[in-house]
Amino acid sequence: MKRIASIAIVIDDYDRAIDFYTNKLKFDLLEDTVLNETKRWVKVAPSSESDFSLLLAKAANEEQLSRVGNQTGGRVFLFLHTDQFDEDLKNLEEQKIPIVRGPVKEEWGRVLVFADLYGNLWDLIEVSQAS
């Protein structure tokens, strides 16, 4: 075993999730394949060169639907590194994406916590060059 390539994030609607991740967070849509009448294989990533992607997995039953937005019990779920913190912060503000904590400057860099379309918490992290 070498690496984790993707992680599934449970969503309620494919098109709404694609719109959020691609138009608001500026991720790239890597794949959107229809598998059947109710299921699609949808992958997004911070960039098409990324080694990691999110699989947008539409909830298929009530139990899965109950997990949308709370896959980690309220803890930060995903960690997004950037080398353009100020630009990304400005985009989050312009897109009216909720910033839950921060931004704060730490010895190792800067961080803020934002909530995605569903309320999942993300860290946006810029590690300083001195770290």
**89-98 long-range CB contacts below 8 Å, 24 or more apart?**
89/124, 91/24, 91/25, 91/26, 92/124, 95/24, 95/25, 97/24, 97/25
Which residues of the chain are under the pLDDT cut of 70? 130-131
| Domain ranges (residues) in the chain | 1-68, 71-131
pTM of the model: 0.90
The 10s digit of each residue's pLDDT in 71-102 is 888 899 999 999 999 999 999 999 999 999 99
Q: In the chain, pLDDT over 90 holds for what percent of residues?
A: 87
pLDDT value of residue 71: 87
Taken as a whole, the chain contains a residue count of 131
> CATH assignment of 1-68?
3.10.180.10
Phi, psi of 100 (to 5 degrees): -85, -40
Superfamily of domain 71-131: 2,3-Dihydroxybiphenyl 1,2-Dioxygenase, domain 1 (3.10.180.10)
Same topology for domains 1-68 and 71-131, yes or no? Answer: yes
The 10s digit of each residue's pLDDT in 70-79 is 888 889 999 9
Q: Which residues of 50-81 are buried (b: 16+ CB within 10 A; e: fewer)?
A: eeebbbbbbeeeeeeeeebbebeeeeebbeee
